[in-house]
A and B are shown apart, each in its own frame.
Chain A
């Protein structure tokens, strides 16, 4: 089983990311589970969402304390919360940052694997909005290989029919521009 934690700020669509990934994976015939961090949420405040992926139905109903992967939708959230909290050794961080991969602080790249993409820039250019949830799904697909771009596209089209094209463009660009360091 693979456990993923999404970090963002309220309004950026971290929950949508977690859900779209789960729906795409389920569509591919595997099992998945997605859920928000339960409770009242405020626009702009740090938020979390979760996805589990497995071959068979997932019975476990607890929160995710020790994820295999964390995805950071907002570069500023890193200063506000410890996004690596509980992350397994050799776990993967998929980070939205304008920095080059060798400029990212050391605490990230020693223990963990790292993938970076400038999702805010891509989203601004392609979607004309700093909302990075669909863009980061492209980075996630590239860094993990856990889901196909086609499956994610299908879910994006379903969920955001009026702006699907731009979101898919942003996702594909993020897929191409993601840089990975093992």
Chain B
């Protein structure tokens, strides 16, 4: 049985990693990820978690250590943010290319310069194509649940890929809120011990990560992509099992009052909660507005997105990341790509908001909906617009 309790979301993630019986944690501290790894270090030091906490000298080494640990068959976890994730960049591709089921929590933070310790999604968007399964959490409960699910998804032998769980820096990571912490017994039942497909073993030496000559590289990359695309089915399966055991439902795209909505707000992460409140207020005024939230970012749930937005007139796609000189936010681009070839598709208005920890207020969502209605009538003037800029 789970226990309802109040907890800081970072601590809830540490608890999830403990309940998942992670064997190796390799991490380098960086704001706003620190509370997660501090708590894990304490758990290991106090003997609450039987694991090796590897103190590394950089995030590049943290991911390298996870790669080594996963390759010998240890359940591996790390967490980072912003420049720390950027420093891992090279190793992220090694982890996915070697099909190592590492789990990482990224506490989303803006990329410097100028130095910002506050939240947005520019860190993870720079790693969009690194071959990791990528999930976004909205609440503390979801962060806890996704962290446990991530190990099961990653380690499924049909998947064998690393998974990143994204949580918003500060606005989620540093918040205390109520959530249900599941028991060790129940988590053990859900998550069996890690059985690797192949394993480094000094008694049976093998080489992994050898040279991929041009005759082979393309085939290996195709295999990797098939694995990532096909992981969708396993993710759905894991969510079904999770619902059967714990009662909480998970979908690739989360919807709220979207059924008859003419305008859909699209956003990922914790800000969806504020959007939800805005939707309720707009509905009270008789506006047909709904909310869709991308939880599964990679593999991108094309089918789900097409089905979900089919009846809407317009989508207000809000990104907490700017693609400089490009078509706007990465999530908006993906929505457009997913819908472009359809005969009937909603109008898409792109918005950038909440950069570097700027609050996205309820009123901002009112503005976004108003703008979307205007653009729907008058036609798109530019690729996207930034919300709340002081000029």
Contact = CB atoms under 8 A, between A and B. Distances in A.
Interface stretch (A2-10, A22-30, A112-120, A141-149): A22-30
Contacts of B360: 62
B277 A33 contact: no
Interface in B173-189: 174-178
A62 B361 contact: yes
Interface in B271-289: 271, 273-274, 276-277
B270 interface: yes
B174 A38 contact: yes
A63 interface: yes
Interface residues of B, number: 28
B117 A39 contact: yes
B175 A26 contact: no
A60 interface: yes
Contact of A22 (B168, B176, B277): B176
Contacts of B277: 59-60
Interface string B302-319: 000000000000000000
Interface residues of A, number: 22
Contact of A62 (B174, B276, B359): B359
Contacts of A35: 170-171, 174-176
Identify the interface centre among B171, B176, B270, B273: most chain A CB within 10 Å of its CB: B176
A136 B117 CA distance: 31
A35 B168 CA distance: 13
Interface string B96-129: 0000000000000000000001100000000000
B30 interface: no
Contacts of B359: 62-63
B68 interface: no
B178 A57 contact: yes
Contact of A33 (B32, B117, B177, B362): B177
B196 interface: no
Contacts of A33: 175-177
A54 to B, nearest CB: 11
Interface in A1-45: 19, 22-23, 25-27, 31-36, 38-40
A58 interface: yes
A23 B277 CA distance: 23
B365 to A, nearest CB: 11
Contacts of A27: 5-6
A7 to B, nearest CB: 18
B117 A61 contact: no
Contacts, number: 71
Contacts of B193: none
B172 A62 contact: no
A27 B176 CA distance: 12
Given A26-B6, A33-B177, A38 B270 contact: no
B228 to A, nearest CB: 30
Given A39-B117, A40-B117, A61-B270, A23 B174 contact: no
Contacts of B176: 19, 22-23, 26, 32-35
Nearest to B273: A59
Contacts of A40: 117
Contact of B118 (A34, A39, A57): A39
B273 A61 contact: yes
Contacts of A26: 4-6, 176-178
B211 to A, nearest CB: 46
A86 to B, nearest CB: 13
B357 interface: yes
A26 B172 CA distance: 17
Contact of B178 (A32, A36, A59): A32
Contact of A59 (B8, B168, B276): B276
Contacts of A23: 6, 176
Nearest to A33: B177
B6 A32 contact: yes
Contacts of A38: 32, 118, 170-171, 174, 357
Contact of A58 (B4, B117, B174, B177): B177
Identify the interface centre among B6, B139, B361: most chain A CB within 10 Å of its CB: B6
A52 to B, nearest CB: 9
B174 A36 contact: yes
A131 to B, nearest CB: 20
Nearest to A18: B176
11 contacts: A19-B176, A33-B175, A33-B176, A34-B176, A35-B171, A39-B117, A60-B273, A61-B171, A61-B175, A61-B273, A62-B362
Interface of A: 19, 22-23, 25-27, 31-36, 38-40, 57-63
Q: Lowest 5 A-B CB distances belong to which pairs?
A: A26-B6, A59-B273, A38-B170, A23-B6, A34-B176
Given A19-B176, A35-B174, A57-B178, 8 more contacts: A23-B176, A31-B177, A32-B6, A32-B177, A33-B175, A35-B171, A36-B174, A62-B361
